[in-house]
């Protein structure tokens, strides 16, 4: 169950996204799209832009490999993260990428089958990366990776995302 403070976070995120026309093209907007709290605990947020994406924790080399395969320049990448112990969201913006290619390309970089089934969770089409507790969701040029405990926990986190 989502706590009342998280509902306030959803409202704030919705207002912020509505105010920017729903665009996640700036690093600040991408970061603002991430939850301020997960499971009632404040998140630690970090943002990396362009060349600084190499400094991001949690697999920047994989994100950069995916960008390279899609013809996206590092300068056009932004990585934003929101974490609490054991849970988190990583949002990677691949500026100029074909949105339909993002998920399959990332799964290919991970050497996972590109036919990982999609399913609905929190009114979003997601894929659970095989052999992990990571859920992949794309929206436009942005790929969200949700690190969750199970489907129910992932649904709560996904409900907070645009």
H helix intervals, 116-160: 151-158
Domain boundaries, the chain: 4-158
Token readout for 121 is 């969770």
Cβ pair 137, 125 in contact under 8 A: yes
Per-residue tens of pLDDT for the chain, all 162 residues:
444 333 333 323 322 333 333 456 689 999 999 999 998 999 999 999 999 988 887 778 999 999 999 999 999 999 999 999 989 999 999 999 999 999 999 999 998 876 788 999 999 999 999 889 999 999 999 999 999 999 999 999 999 999
Cβ pair 6, 13 in contact under 8 A: no
Instruction: Find tokens 């934003």 and name the residue.
Output: 80
Given strand 142-147, what is the order of strands in its sheet?
Answer: 44-49, 77-84, 87-94, 142-147, 134-139, 124-128, 118-121
Predicted local distance difference test score (pLDDT) of residue 98:
96
Predicted local distance difference test score (pLDDT) of residue 4:
38
**DSSP output for 83-142:** EETTEEEEEEEETT--HHHHHHHHHHHTT--TTPPEEEETTEEEEEPTTSSEEEEEETTE
3-state secondary structure at position 153: helix
């Amino acid at each position: 169950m989502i706590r009342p403070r998280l509902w306030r976070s959803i409202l704030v995120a919705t207002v912020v996204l509505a105010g920017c026309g729903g665009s996640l093209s700036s690093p600040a907007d991408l970061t603002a799209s991430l939850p301020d709290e997960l499971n009632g605990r404040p998140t630690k947020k970090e943002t990396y832009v362009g060349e600084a994406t190499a400094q991001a924790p949690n697999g920047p080399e994989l994100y950069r490999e995916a960008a390279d395969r899609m013809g996206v320049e590092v300068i056009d990448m932004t990585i934003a993260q929101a974490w609490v112990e054991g849970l988190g969201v990583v949002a990677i913006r691949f500026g100029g990428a074909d949105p339909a290619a993002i998920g399959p390309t990332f799964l290919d970089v991970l050497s996972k089958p590109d036919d990982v089934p999609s399913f609905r969770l929190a009114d979003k089409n997601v894929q659970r990366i095989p052999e992990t507790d990571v859920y992949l969701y794309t929206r436009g040029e942005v790929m969200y990776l949700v690190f969750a405990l199970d489907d129910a926990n992932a649904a709560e986190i996904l409900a907070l995302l645009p």
